[in-house]
Amino acid sequence: MIQTITGDTEFIESLRGKKATLLLALSNTKTANIQGIESVSQNQLIPTITSEFICTGQIKSLNINPQKLSKATHITRKVHTKTPFGRIELLDLGLETKPKLNYFTLHNFDITMSQSIAKGADIDAQVIFEKGINFGQTYQCKDEYIILGESIPSGTLTAMATSLALRYKNKEAFQSSSSNAVEESVLKLALSHINDKDELFTILGKVSDNTLIFNAGFILGLNNSIPIILAGDTHMASLLLIINRILKLMGGMMETSNLALCTSKCVVEDNHSDIKSIIQTPLFTINSYYVDSSLKDSISQETTVSGAAMMYSILNGLDLKNLS
């Protein structure tokens, strides 16, 4: 069921039977308000209501039928009811609307929603990165490993812009990289704000998003001290590209024996993206996996850790048929 993208199976097998803390990094960007961007990304409440549903099985911040949430979000919720995560904690990295959750830890970092990348995202990237570093250095995980997921509308677009602005030539590696004329226009405008003299964090502040910048710092701050699974698709994989550039800037190296990525089969087989090529781009290597399941989980940016959630259920003895 668990298939290898890069590396070997030893790392993932070491997690069998162990409990994980699910960290959900949640944010908004005004990029998602642009008319013509994929319709699901128009709803800035997606991170809020998705996290509410995964935690409680209910939506509290919007009067909406839960069946309208992605199939993948329902899968993640079912995993938590059948093979519960040790705990679920939320990272507020610039939410417009806070989730209505009384019994779950919501980490607040005083980060505001970023602006549209078409006009310049106006992110204080150095400050947010340092907040991520500090959180990684001080975070005390109460379980045996971490699953890090994220939800940010228009995340694929900000990830693509970030990658191209950092001089990676991999536009085709991102989902739906050329299918939307509006996205093409936004991408062109975003990159027009970059000039050759811009330093790394200046670039990130213009074209990236809060989750990418913070999580890059978080991973570096953890410094391989605990196993962590990056859960998601090309947006989450693009974290590795940012870390790669930061390490190059600092002339440093990173131990990655405790770092891996897990996604779902539909992401790996998506003809409009190439997550493996993104994972293999950095100078460092990580293990990466996907779950070979017949469940038809969505490949949208709001999948919210479904691949890693299914992996977690398998490692804890659940037959995926019970998630149908």
Buried b (16+ CB within 10 A) or exposed e, 220-258: bbbeeebbbbbbbbbbbbbbbbbbbbbbeeeeeebebeb
Per-residue pLDDT, 294? 63
Q: Which of 323, 224, 230 is nearest to 23 (CA)?
A: 230
Per-residue pLDDT, 300? 44
Kindly tell me if the per-residue pLDDT of 296 is higher than 70: no
User: Could you tell me where the DSSP H helices lie in 19-63?
Assistant: 46-56
Q: In the predicted model, what is the mean pLDDT of residues 158-163? A: 96
Of 80-89, 95-104, 166-175, 278-287, minimum mean pLDDT range: 166-175
Is the torsion defined by CA of 153, 159, 165, 166 positive or negative?
Answer: positive
Axis crossing angle, helix 200-207 with helix 155-165, rounded to the nearest 10: 150
Q: What is the pLDDT of residues 56-74, one digit of tens each?
A: 999 999 998 998 888 889 9
Q: What is the total residue count of the chain?
A: 324
Axis crossing angle, helix 71-82 with helix 46-56, rounded to the nearest 10: 30
User: Could you tell me where the DSSP H helices lie in 251-283?
Assistant: 265-268, 275-280
Axis crossing angle, helix 234-250 with helix 155-165, rounded to the nearest 10: 30
Identify the bridge partners of residue 146 per DSSP, sorted by sequence position: 21, 228
Per-residue pLDDT, 131? 98
Distances in Å between the alpha carbon of 307 and those of 3, 238, 283? Answer: 11, 17, 25
Q: In the predicted model, what is the mean pLDDT of residues 286-299? A: 74
Kindly tell me if the per-residue pLDDT of 43 is higher than 70: yes
Q: Which domains does the chain have, with CATH numbers?
A: 2-323 (3.40.50.10210)
The model's pTM? 0.95
Q: In the predicted model, what is the mean pLDDT of residues 308-314? A: 96
Kindly tell me if the per-residue pLDDT of 303 is higher than 80: no
Compare 284 and 321 and report the one with higher pLDDT: 284
Per-residue pLDDT, 299? 41
Of 133-137, 229-233, 292-296, minimum mean pLDDT range: 292-296
How far apart are alpha carbons 83 and 299 in whole angstroms? Answer: 23
**Mean per-residue pLDDT over the chain, rounded:** 92
Question: Per-residue confidence at 197, pLDDT binned at 50, 70, 90?
Answer: very high
C-alpha dihedral (90, 240, 147, 323), degrees to nearest 10: 110
Contacts of 319 (CB under 8 A, 6+ apart): none
DSSP state of 321: G
C-alpha dihedral (120, 216, 47, 90), degrees to nearest 10: -140
DSSP state of 291: E
Per-residue pLDDT, 1? 85
Per-residue pLDDT, 37? 77
Q: In the predicted model, what is the mean pLDDT of residues 226-251? A: 96
Question: Per-residue confidence at 322, pLDDT binned at 50, 70, 90?
Answer: confident
Sheet holding 2-6, edge to edge: 2-6, 287-291, 259-264, 228-231, 145-151, 20-26, 87-92, 105-108
